[in-house]
Amino acid sequence: MAMAMHRFSLCCVVLLVLAPLAAVAWRPWPPRNGSGEVEGIGASKKFEGSSDFVKLQYHMGPVLAADITVHPIWYGRWPAEQKRTIRAFLRSLSPPGSGSGDGGIPSPSVAAWWRTVRLYTDQTSANVSGVVRLGREKCDARASRGGRLTRLDIQSVVRDAVTARTRPLPVDSSGVYLVLTSPEVVVENFCGQVCGFHYFTFPSVVGYTLPYAWVGNSAARCPEVCAYPFAIPSYVGGGRRAEAPPNGDVGVDGMVSVIAHELAELASNPLANAWYAGEDPSFPTEIADLCEGIYGTGGGGAYTGQLLTDGRSGASYNVNGVGGRKFLVQWVWNPILSYCSGPNALDQ
């Protein structure tokens, strides 16, 4: 596949509920099957595990209660500005000084969004950690495992990062390994079924059991699927216009919301035995699946909900981050309120 030439940076040397909760899993557009016909509710193209009606339950497994360190693995070619945007979001989850607030970041903030994720607990009543740090990074600009990856290949990418001869990532007991693939990389089921997923590595592949997530940049392949609402599917009627991305990059701004989605689920269900709905842990409906496509009050169906607008750029966002950055991230299920919630909700 031809690869556009850019100037690239050098690689970086719940509370436990007493009864099951019923919820409706929203999605931003009617999903379609291979023939182009609209499929039934419950056939999401965006994230795994969505269904029309689910009961969120706790299955007695751990949540990420210790301080979380996110280790990005940049697979493929990544311009410096795109890396900066994603790093800024990760730093915004618990910015400096946020122990007594939001670290001076205006409301609504990314840290306030993460506080909903923190409501989830394990059987010892330990909450998901409020500390999320940006850890060490690893770059594989040469895409050493090729431009087409299977789902299992993602685990091999993690293994390469923690066993590298030079500057390997640490094997971190409280670490989360975030594999980010650039637009030219094709991942199994990308766009057709998923935009991101999370799981844990197999000792037989990596040597350790480590929580990890993968998110792809959809800019060159399916922005209308994975970077919604910054791109709109052609079959969404009413002359719907795409929202302007807050950081000026449809692919990366779309990735930020998918990263948020996967980190929320990874924190509340790291080993596929904690918080999810459904009987099969291999295909769970998790706390972000329940709120797919909802970014503000009134969201659901083909409507994002009420968003904020940047007065200078006209871009749409719903949370503020470090360095004056703005982001648009989907809401997650609030186990106390028993509905989807976010810090930009009008009823808070």
pLDDT one-digit tens code per residue, 157-210: 999 999 999 999 999 988 999 999 999 999 999 998 899 999 999 999 999 999
Look at residue 281 in the predicted model and tell me its pLDDT.
Answer: 80
Residue 33 lies in a domain: no
Look at residue 99 in the predicted model and tell me its pLDDT.
Answer: 65
At 187 the three-state DSSP class reads strand
Residue 18 lies in a domain: no
Mean pLDDT of the 24-32 span: 35
The larger pLDDT score, comparing residue 50 to residue 284, is at 284
Residue 97 lies in a domain: yes
Residue 174 lies in a domain: yes
Mean pLDDT of the 296-316 span: 93
Look at residue 36 in the predicted model and tell me its pLDDT.
Answer: 39
Residue 30 lies in a domain: no
Residue 39 lies in a domain: no
For the chain, give the percent of residues with pLDDT over 90. 72
**What element of type H or E holds 138?**
strand 138-140
pLDDT tens by residue, 106-119 = 999 999 999 999 99
Domain count, the chain: 1
pTM: 0.85
Closest listed residue to residue 183, CA positions, set 298, 296, 79: 79
For the chain, give the percent of residues with pLDDT over 70. 82
Residue 256 lies in a domain: yes
Q: Structural domain of residue 265, as residue ranges?
A: 54-339
Give, in order, the Cα–Cα distances in Å from 272 to each of 212, 220, 256, 339.
12, 31, 23, 22
CA distance 343 to 294: 12
pLDDT tens by residue, 198-254 = 999 999 999 999 999 999 999 999 999 999 999 998 877 667 899 999 999 999 999
Residue 289 lies in a domain: yes
Q: Give me the numbers of helices (H) and strands (E) for the chain, helices first please.
A: 6, 17
Look at residue 298 in the predicted model and tell me its pLDDT.
Answer: 92
